[in-house]
């Protein structure tokens, strides 16, 4: 699972899609206006992100509304931080 997530995060277009979805849920068409890529290329990016469970798409008539799956993204980042022994700074001061 982690390898799939990291592969998805390796591409700058996919990272930009995640940034946009962080602001709000968007349709494929709303996301597409931010890129010069063709629709089939963007569709492949959406597929990679969906397979990594970083985004979830919900069909609404003839469109798909995408939303960010923050839980998987957080888990991937925490795993990476642990792998490199990076401590979280600024957490709850009661935790020690």
pLDDT of residue 95: 47
pLDDT of residue 2: 78
pLDDT of residue 96: 43
**Which parts of the chain register pLDDT below 50?**
93-96
CATH class of 2-82: mainly alpha
- What DSSP element (H or E) covers 27? strand 26-27
pLDDT of residue 79: 81
pLDDT of residue 77: 79
pLDDT of residue 91: 55
pLDDT of residue 6: 87
pLDDT of residue 76: 81
- Tell me the C-alpha distance between 35 and 13, whole Å: 8
For the chain, count helices (H), then strands (E). Answer: 5, 3
- What DSSP element (H or E) covers 23? helix 12-23
Q: Which CA distances in Å does 71 have to 6, 34, 51, 52?
A: 15, 25, 15, 12
pTM equals 0.81
């Amino acid at each position: 699972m982690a390898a799939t997530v990291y592969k998805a995060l390796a591409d700058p277009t996919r990272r930009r899609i995640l940034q946009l979805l962080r602001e709000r849920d968007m349709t494929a068409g709303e996301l597409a206006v931010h890129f010069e890529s063709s629709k089939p290329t963007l569709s492949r990016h959406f597929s990679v992100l969906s397979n990594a469970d970083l985004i979830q798409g919900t069909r609404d008539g003839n469109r798909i509304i995408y939303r960010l799956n923050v839980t998987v993204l957080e888990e991937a980042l925490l795993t990476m931080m642990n792998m490199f022994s990076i401590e979280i700074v600024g957490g709850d001061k009661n935790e020690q």
